[in-house]
Amino acid sequence: MTFCESEHSERTAERATDAAAAGDAGARLMLAVLCVVWGATWPIMRIALNEVPPFTMRSISVFVGGVMLFAICAVKRRSLRIPGAKGWAHVAIAAMLNVASFSVFSTFAQLSAATSRVAILSYTMPIWAVILAWIFLRERPTGMQPIAIGLCAAGLGVLIYPLAESKIPIGILLALATGVSWAAGTVYLKWARLQADPMAIATWQVAIAFVVIAACMLIFEGGPQLQAAHSDGLVATVLAGLLGTGTAYGLWFSIIRRLPAMTASLGVLGSPVIGVISSILILGERPTPNDIAGFALILAASACVLFTRATPALAATGPHRDDATPLSAAPARQHDASSRSAGRPMRRSR
């Protein structure tokens, strides 16, 4: 290789490094925006629920978010194809767990529990995901995950014990169900290993969930009930869809293509923190010392789970490939492969 060729290669490598660094910085900025968006959505939903019935509020917000997701897919020219009837069945089941159940449980939870508590308990999802993966996928907890389960149990005990002296509010149980349903949907999709664009999977889940929630609205509320709603309730309902569903999903699926999975997951842990802070500032909630201690333990538990999952950035085809491995096992397998190939001469490209 001549000197000129070597210098050209070095400059090309430097430009590629600079471009990667710029892309990484942009993805981290999007992650910060996502935390604020998801966290601020919690008090926004509570404002909407003050004037709009729950099924009406969720039907409108999911519809608005779904329309936005379809628009994003059209602009980015993302494929919306889901392969075969079996693939559609998997998406429908995931939609019931990830979107429909999450939306209904979290909405009704806020009607009988503090929004800050609901936000924190919903983000127990990583712990439930570890437990469900252990049961159904035979992925034994590794690294710090057993510690996380213990921390989560302690945090739940600190939060729930003072309430159990009288009666545990149904909102607390629904908030826990929110995290469990989210985790179940995550584990189910990993088991299903759908061969489709992750953005398409998310968009169709929202669309199917809208049909289910709208049917509940017709059955239990007799149709959209907006007669008593004022401008702030209507605006909050639309914002919940634009921010919590449309914008959040659009940002998330852009982020996971550009950042390591662990970085993205740890970054999202800022969402319940923003949810608690915004609930204090917007709704005037005042967490008790027990709440603060419980929040800290649960967040520490989620962080322990996600620190164990040190995986490289997700491939463009998404996390549900045929060759998918347990997230906690991926780095070790990569290291073994690197070790085996270290002593071999590299083949020249033809």
Q: What is the pLDDT of residues 30-79, one digit of tens each?
A: 888 888 898 999 999 999 999 999 999 999 999 999 999 999 999 999 99
Note the pLDDT of residue 270.
78
Q: Is 297 contained in some domain?
A: yes
Note the pLDDT of residue 181.
95
**Looking at residues 325-337, what average pLDDT do you find?**
34
Residues 6+ apart with CB under 8 A from 335: none
Q: Is 95 contained in some domain?
A: yes
Percent of the chain past pLDDT 70, that is, above it, reads: 78
Q: Is 272 contained in some domain?
A: yes
Note the pLDDT of residue 85.
94
Burial of 206 (0-12, 13-18, 19+ CB in 10 A): buried
Note the pLDDT of residue 55.
97
Residue 328 has pLDDT above 70, yes or no: no
Give the distance between the most distant pair of CA atoms in the chain. Answer: 81
Specify the pTM. 0.76
Summarised one tens digit per residue, pLDDT across range 170-221 is 999 999 999 999 989 989 988 998 889 989 999 999 999 999 999 999 999 9
Residue for token pair 């710090």: 144
Burial of 98 (0-12, 13-18, 19+ CB in 10 A): buried
Phi, psi (degrees; rounded to nearest 5) at 314: -65, 145
Note the pLDDT of residue 266.
64
Q: What's the mean pLDDT when you consider all of the chain? A: 80
What SS3 class is residue 274? helix
Note the pLDDT of residue 201.
92
Residue 155, domain extent:
46-312
Q: Is 158 contained in some domain?
A: yes
DSSP 39-87: HHHHHHHHHHHTTS-HHHHHHHHHHHHHHHHHHHHHHHT------HHHH
Q: Is 79 contained in some domain?
A: yes
Q: Is 343 contained in some domain?
A: no
pLDDT higher for 121 or 328?
121
What is the tally of structural domains in the chain? 1
Residue for token pair 């629920």: 49
Residue 298's pLDDT band (cuts 50, 70, 90): confident
Q: Is 332 contained in some domain?
A: no
Hey, which residues does 160 pair with through a beta bridge? none
Residue for token pair 């009930």: 225
Percent of the chain past pLDDT 90, that is, above it, reads: 40
Q: Is 13 contained in some domain?
A: no
Residue 295: C-alpha distances to residues 85, 156, 189 (Å): 42, 9, 28
Summarised one tens digit per residue, pLDDT across range 99-137 is 999 999 999 999 999 998 898 888 888 788 888 988 998
Residue 329 has pLDDT above 50, yes or no: no
**Looking at residues 136-155, what average pLDDT do you find?**
84
Residue 319 has pLDDT above 50, yes or no: no
Note the pLDDT of residue 184.
93
Note the pLDDT of residue 308.
62
